[in-house]
Amino acid sequence: MVAAVGGFFFIRHYSTEHAESTAIAHTDFIAGSILPDELRRSDFAAPVRGARLRQLDRLSHHEFLTEGILRVKLYGPNGQVVYSSDHSLIGSRPVESGEVTRALHGESLGDVTQLNAEGGTGSNKTVLESYVPVRLGGGRPVGVFELYADYGPIASDARSIFLPLAAGLAAVLLGLYLSFFPILKRVTRTLRRQVQEIEHKAYHDSLTDLPNRTLFEDRVERGVLEANARGTRLAVMLVDLDRFKDVNDSLGHHSGDRLLKAIAEDLPAQMRRDDTVARLGGDEFGILALDISDTSAVLALAEKVQAVLANPRMIDGIELGVDASIGIALFPDHGDDVETLIRRADVAMYRSKETHGAALYESEHDNHSPARLTLVAELHRAISDRELIVNYQPQCDPASGELVGVEALVRWQHPERGLLMPEEFIPLAEHTGLIRALTSHVLDVSLRQCREWQGEGLTVAVAVNVSGRDLLDPQFPEEVESLLERYNVNPSQLELEITENTALTELPRARATLARLNQLGVSLAIDDFGTGNSSLAYIRRLPVRVLKIDRSFVMHMMDNEEDRAIVHSTIDLAHSLGLRVVAEGVESAECNSILAELRCDLAQGFYFGKAMAADDLARFSHSAAAPGHRM
């Protein structure tokens, strides 16, 4: 009997010890694979509250509180409970904090205790508690993760063999022999199933069940190793759904989730067996395509993806089609590691948003390449040292040839690369935040020059291009007003040009800026009209006074009836709304004559003159009666 009892306690001790080590390993796995992606350092600074508490609750119920897991806690570095699935424990401190202290020093440990030994609500079950350190981004632990697993199944298994053991030593020994391994097998099977569930959740998106970013990056890494060994190519594609926010805002997040699920079902079915489709977060998907033969093959695959997305789907009784921006990076053409390929596919994706088609990575559009970073530093210096050049292109009356205004156009006399045109550095300034300083420089130079011209008897309006970032700055109208006062220039002589796409913004702050500029008396113009998606009906709601017809319509209207009709109707409709019209891209006397017949207010282009220095413009104004000789 003593041997039986001894055997019973031996088995219970062995089972408990085995269960403890498995539970610790389970908790360590969570802390190492899930928590670094989901937690922030601020979560450990103080007890979580409000929206963050609800977020952690959802994380706990989806990822941790699986079968047999009763409670989870997070401790801050001072030993305080910053989060618990039992909210009554948040903000408390354990009386005995030795385990927390040891875990904060990097040790993983566990014990058998009561669920509510340190407080809490609900049934006070016997549990296996595990403490493990939490590291975010490596280095020292920032806190401790504690998990409580139900000890009942283990204890029940141990008790179930006690009576057979008591029947006799032989029966006990036989019972021990027969039951020892089944117990461990059941415990191991349960814990293995829990670990498998957590592993699946750790590497798959909870909404669509597609691979998540972690698994996607792992497969890209393995794909690169295999492609390198076999001498083949692969493609990493990033897919961003355009205007998905409109679906959420109009139909609600439930409809948005249903749309994402439908896409997650359709896309993998169109891929090859070894390709991977992953949801990387929000409305962004990733595609890994192996064994790509050439760029035409991957572009064809991208077109196939766009066709699948554009296929209408019925969501809550509404038919929805989805457009997408797709960026592509190829191995080994554009990179030979996971981080580089994904980053460069992301660069290409933003290029795709501009071109409205799938885009391959191109270094000239990469603002983070070493060459571009060097150019950023040089541009910053050029702006601060006022090294940029401002030239002025004439805007004339097409009927009389009279010089009425100019457009200020900035150039960069780079010490090594020579004269750089705006398209070579303006996008760089926009993406790096330098555009505000650049706009301020051009405004200052242009208004000072306008004042000097007035002193010479030349009165012309000056047009300056501004960006969306300028309109989002609440101090921009005050800056414009200050410069007008400094140089004593009438506000009516300043025209600020914004692109059609910038005009489409619905941001209240930008619209408020336009209204304040209009109150100053500054003229607002829509540049490149006709290339975006707006209409005169929409622009009528903005404080716009001038419309500039894009050169692509003006240059071809002599031999293209459709372009001529567009220019004609745009001029008529703009005049009916009280807007003045400027035609860009006028390169011939014939084109100018047509614009005069159509009663276009101003014309701008090489027929009148290229952008020129301020001194040259003064001389140009004296020959305003014969524009045909100003090439």
Supply the pLDDT for residue 630: 43
The reply to whether 256 and 171 lie within a common domain is no
Supply the pLDDT for residue 138: 72
Q: How many domains does the chain have?
A: 3
Average pLDDT over residues 54-66: 89
Least confident of 149-153, 169-173, 214-218, 337-341: 169-173
Supply the pLDDT for residue 433: 77
The reply to whether 226 and 183 lie within a common domain is no
Residue after which a domain boundary falls, among 143, 174, 203: 203
Supply the pLDDT for residue 316: 76
Question: Residue 255: is its pLDDT beyond 80?
Answer: yes
Residue 629 domain-assigned (yes or no): no
The reply to whether 613 and 471 lie within a common domain is yes
Band of the pLDDT at 620, cuts 50, 70, 90? confident
What percent of the chain is predicted at pLDDT more than 70?
A: 87
Average pLDDT over residues 601-616: 93
Residue 377 domain-assigned (yes or no): no
**8 A C-beta contact, residue 341 and residue 357:** no
Residue after which a domain boundary falls, among 155, 182, 203: 203
Residue 628 domain-assigned (yes or no): no
The reply to whether 539 and 393 lie within a common domain is yes
Supply the pLDDT for residue 628: 45
The reply to whether 168 and 266 lie within a common domain is no
Average pLDDT over residues 459-477: 91
The reply to whether 579 and 480 lie within a common domain is yes
**The CATH number of the domain where 43 resides is what?**
3.30.450.20
Nearest alpha carbon to residue 407 among 445, 476, 447, 461: 461
- Tell me the CA distances in angstroms from 28 to 64, 163, 185, 444, one per residue in order: 12, 37, 22, 60
Band of the pLDDT at 315, cuts 50, 70, 90? confident
For residues 89 and 80, what is the distance between their CA atoms, to the nearest angstrom?
10
Residue 380 domain-assigned (yes or no): no
Q: Quick one: 482 exposed, middle or buried, by C-beta within 10 A (0-12, 13-18, 19+)? A: exposed
* First CA to last CA distance, the chain: 114
The reply to whether 190 and 237 lie within a common domain is no
For residues 553 and 537, what is the distance between their CA atoms, to the nearest angstrom?
20
* Helix or strand run (H / E) with residue 605: none
Average pLDDT over residues 118-134: 89
335: left (phi over 0), alpha (psi -120 to 50) or beta: left
Q: Quick one: 508 exposed, middle or buried, by C-beta within 10 A (0-12, 13-18, 19+)? A: exposed
Question: Residue 479: is its pLDDT beyond 50?
Answer: yes
401: left (phi over 0), alpha (psi -120 to 50) or beta: left
Question: Residue 165: is its pLDDT beyond 60?
Answer: no
Supply the pLDDT for residue 314: 84
Instruction: Return the amino acid letter for 507.
Output: L
**The CATH number of the domain where 349 resides is what?**
3.30.70.270
The reply to whether 536 and 584 lie within a common domain is yes
The reply to whether 186 and 249 lie within a common domain is no
The reply to whether 336 and 405 lie within a common domain is no
Residue 480 domain-assigned (yes or no): yes
Question: Residue 233: is its pLDDT beyond 90?
Answer: yes
For residues 244 and 279, what is the distance between their CA atoms, to the nearest angstrom?
14
Supply the pLDDT for residue 173: 62
Which own/partner pairs from 158-161 qualify as long-range (CB within 8 Å, at least 24 positions apart)?
Answer: 158/8, 158/11, 158/12, 158/15, 158/183, 161/8, 161/11
Residue 370 domain-assigned (yes or no): no
pLDDT 10s digits, 262-292: 899 888 888 888 899 999 988 899 999 999 9
Question: Residue 627: is its pLDDT beyond 50?
Answer: no
Band of the pLDDT at 516, cuts 50, 70, 90? very high
Residue 493 domain-assigned (yes or no): yes
Model's pTM, two decimal places?
0.51
Supply the pLDDT for residue 366: 72
The reply to whether 244 and 342 lie within a common domain is yes
For residues 1 and 341, what is the distance between their CA atoms, to the nearest angstrom?
68
User: Residue 359 corresponds to which tokens in the numbers above?
Assistant: 């885009």
Helix axes 435-455, 476-487, angle to 10 degrees: 20
Average pLDDT over residues 113-131: 88
Residue 170 domain-assigned (yes or no): yes
**The CATH number of the domain where 613 resides is what?**
3.20.20.450
Question: Residue 534: is its pLDDT beyond 70?
Answer: no
Residue after which a domain boundary falls, among 203, 222, 242: 203
Query: Which residue range(s) make up the domain with 9?
Result: 2-203
Q: In whole numbers, what is the pLDDT of the chain averaged over residues?
A: 85
The reply to whether 540 and 400 lie within a common domain is yes
Supply the pLDDT for residue 438: 94
For residues 276 and 287, what is the distance between their CA atoms, to the nearest angstrom?
6
Which own/partner pairs from 297-306 qualify as long-range (CB within 8 Å, at least 24 positions apart)?
Answer: 298/235, 298/237, 298/328, 298/330, 298/360, 299/328, 299/358, 299/360, 301/235, 301/237, 302/237, 302/326, 302/328, 302/358, 303/358, 304/270, 305/237, 305/239, 305/267, 305/270, 306/358
For residues 524 and 547, what is the distance between their CA atoms, to the nearest angstrom?
9
- Tell me the CA distances in angstroms from 83 to 70, 92, 144, 165, 262, one per residue in order: 15, 10, 11, 44, 35
Supply the pLDDT for residue 476: 94
pLDDT 10s digits, 390-433: 999 999 999 999 999 999 999 998 888 888 888 888 877 877 77
For residues 358 and 239, what is the distance between their CA atoms, to the nearest angstrom?
9
- Tell me the CA distances in angstroms from 126 to 109, 193, 337, one per residue in order: 17, 21, 49
354 or 587, which is more confident: 587
86 or 15, which is more confident: 86
